[in-house]
């Protein structure tokens, strides 16, 4: 049996998304920048996809720019938002995705900004009083805080952060890669300047995403070379990816309530079964449904001799999971997120992440294999 529980890294492509993409691949090959009929037809498809995305998120199509994914969108928002507006101070947390952290740290290293880190607790939740203190005691700030942590699942209150940023005239960028398509985002009400999406996190294709830029803020392009995306991103558009992104988001919104309930049920069931079968386990991050992303469960297991081999052993048993952010796999530094919440480094941690395609039978299989592995001799 093979079980895929690494959906926070990427999700399986929905068959309906593939169908929509394939129909365009088969018949529409014109360059959308060309003025002839073949090009105009493809341009129409892109703009239809943009309108679909904008309608679902209650914003104007002119506020959405298609990118190669979440990392590019984060980089564009941060670098252009800071440099073009002359921002000298930025606020983030130590457990943001590296697409955010490394970009801000590079700007700090080059002397563009001073970088402050808002306090977080042992579950990865933000100290909102400290955030307000940082906002009130510095010049105009750029705030970059994600909606849900990709390793822990801990949610932030994006409405509260938006209110604080408006109060102190700060620019607010929110990485919503893990929550887009899983929670509704009403941009007619949310006080955010930049918001991002990566299609492959919601059963869409890899290599495509979008950056939402609120109409109240203006930035220059990060990628030059052409007039695509209304002069905001040079380069021929990933037409098939854009079609897939719009279709995957459309499906996600249609099925959101049903899938939220179903996937939360799988997560809750797995937590209950792990507690019953594996003495001494702990859950990292928030686990209460109202405070935690329902697709992510981060588990610290008891100390064991084969701790460093736990993920490998799960893989051998047919179980795909992650020891942290998938973008950091292959490194030996350890998870900066788990380090940030002071998780016990001697206890192996595994991130299990779920999708609508997982089943209870799969959860039973995984718990059984985990129980076997944890029954091996522990460290003396």
Query: From CA 37, how far away is CA 192, in angstroms rounded?
Result: 38
Nearest to 13 by CA among 1, 2, 22: 22
Contacts made by residues 162-168, CB under 8 angstroms, sequence distance 24+: 162/190, 162/191, 162/192, 163/191, 164/128, 164/131, 164/132, 164/135, 165/135, 165/191, 166/191, 167/135, 168/132, 168/135, 168/136, 168/140, 168/141
Query: Can 174 be counted among the known catalytic residues?
Result: no
Residue 262 DSSP SS3: helix
The whole-angstrom separation of Cα 345 and Cα 367 is 22
Q: Are 356 and 4 in contact (CB under 8 A)?
A: no
Instruction: Please tell me the total number of residues recorded for the chain in this structure.
Output: 380
CA-to-CA dists, residue 152 to 10, 53, 147, 198, 284, angstroms: 16, 27, 12, 19, 6
CB 203 within 8 A of CB 74: no
CB-based contacts of 320, cutoff 8 Å, min separation 6: 2, 3, 4, 5, 6, 314
Would you say 117 and 108 are in contact if contact means Cβ atoms under 8 Å apart? Answer: no
Which pair of structure tokens corresponds to residue 128? 């909102």
Which alpha helices (DSSP H) does the chain contain, by range? Answer: 15-27, 37-57, 70-84, 98-109, 128-136, 158-167, 228-231, 239-277, 310-316, 336-340, 360-374
Q: Which of 80, 174, 197, 327 is catalytic?
A: 327
Annotated catalytic sites, by residue? 327
């Amino acid at each position: 049996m093979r079980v895929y529980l690494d959906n926070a890294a990427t999700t399986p492509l929905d068959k309906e998304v593939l169908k929509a993409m394939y129909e365009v691949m088969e018949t529409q090959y014109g360059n959308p920048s060309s003025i002839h009929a073949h090009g105009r037809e493809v341009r129409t498809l892109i703009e239809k996809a943009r309108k679909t995305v904008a309608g679902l998120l209650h914003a104007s199509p002119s506020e959405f720019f298609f990118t190669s994914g979440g990392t590019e969108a984060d980089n564009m928002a941060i670098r252009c938002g800071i440099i073009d507006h002359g921002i000298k101070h930025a606020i983030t947390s130590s457990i943001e995705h590296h697409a955010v952290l490394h970009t801000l740290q590079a700007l700090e290293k080059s002397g563009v900004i001073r970088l402050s880190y808002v306090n977080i607790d042992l579950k990865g939740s933000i100290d909102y009083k400290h955030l307000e203190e940082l906002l009130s005691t510095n010049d105009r700030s750029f705030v970059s805080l994600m909606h849900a942590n990709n390793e822990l699942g801990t949610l932030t209150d994006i409405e509260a952060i938006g209110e604080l940023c408006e109060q102190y005239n700060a620019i607010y960028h929110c990485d919503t890669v893990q929550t887009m398509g899983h929670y509704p985002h009403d941009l007619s009400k949310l006080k955010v300047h930049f918001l991002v999406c990566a299609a492959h996190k919601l059963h869409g294709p890899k290599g495509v995403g979008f950056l939402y830029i609120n109409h109240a803020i203006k930035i220059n392009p990060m990628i030059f070379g052409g007039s695509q995306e209304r002069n905001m991103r040079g380069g021929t558009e990933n037409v098939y990816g854009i079609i897939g992104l719009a279709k995957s988001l459309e499906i996600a919104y249609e099925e959101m309530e049903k899938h939220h309930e179903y996937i939360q049920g799988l997560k809750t069931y797995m937590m209950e079964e792990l507690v019953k079968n594996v003495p001494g386990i702990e859950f990292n991050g928030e686990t209460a449904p109202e405070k935690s992303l329902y697709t992510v469960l981060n588990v610290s297991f008891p100390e064991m001799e084969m701790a460093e081999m736990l993920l490998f052993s799960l893989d051998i048993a047919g179980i795909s999971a992650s020891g942290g952010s998938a973008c950091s796999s292959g490194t030996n530094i350890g998870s900066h997120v788990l380090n940030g919440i002071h998780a016990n480094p001697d206890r192996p941690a595994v991130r299990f992440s779920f999708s609508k395609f997982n089943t209870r039978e799969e959860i039973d299989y995984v718990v059984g294999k985990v129980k076997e592995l944890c029954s091996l001799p522990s460290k003396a």
